[in-house]
Amino acid sequence: MHNIADTWSFTDNVSKSWNNHLFKVGIQYEHVHYLFTQSGTSDVFTGKFDFSTNNSNSITNTGYGYSNALMGYFNGTTNPPTAASTRR
C-alpha cells in the first residue's frame, strides 16, 4: 500500500467601500496531489458492506439495494485483513 497526499491552499480577499460603490478582489491558489495505490489479495482495506437484495429475509429487505443502504439493512460485511495476515 502506497500513500502520498499533498495539499496547499491560499485564499485572500479584500473589500473596499467608497461612496455608494463596493469593490471586492480575491485570489485563491490550491494545489492537490493524491496518489493512493492499493495492493494485496483482496484490496479491501477499510471493509465493505453488502446491501444487495436478500429474498430470504423479507423483514429487512426493501427489494432494492440502494433502499437497503438508506435504511441501514445489509446482508453481510467484509473486514479488512489484519497486519499480521498481510505479511509475506
pLDDT of residue 77: 78
SS3 category, 63:
coil
- Reported as a pLDDT band with limits 50, 70 and 90, residue 88 is very low
47, three cell numbers: 471493509
Question: Which residues in 19-88 belong to E strands, given as ranges?
Answer: 21-37, 48-50, 76-78
Q: Is the pTM higher than 0.85?
A: no
In this predicted model, what pLDDT tens digit does every residue of 33-83 receive, in sequence order? 877 665 555 555 667 778 777 677 667 777 777 887 888 777 777 776 655
Per the structure block, which three cell numbers stand in for 13? Answer: 480577499
Rounded Cα–Cα distance for residues 8 and 29 (Å): 8
Length of the chain: 88
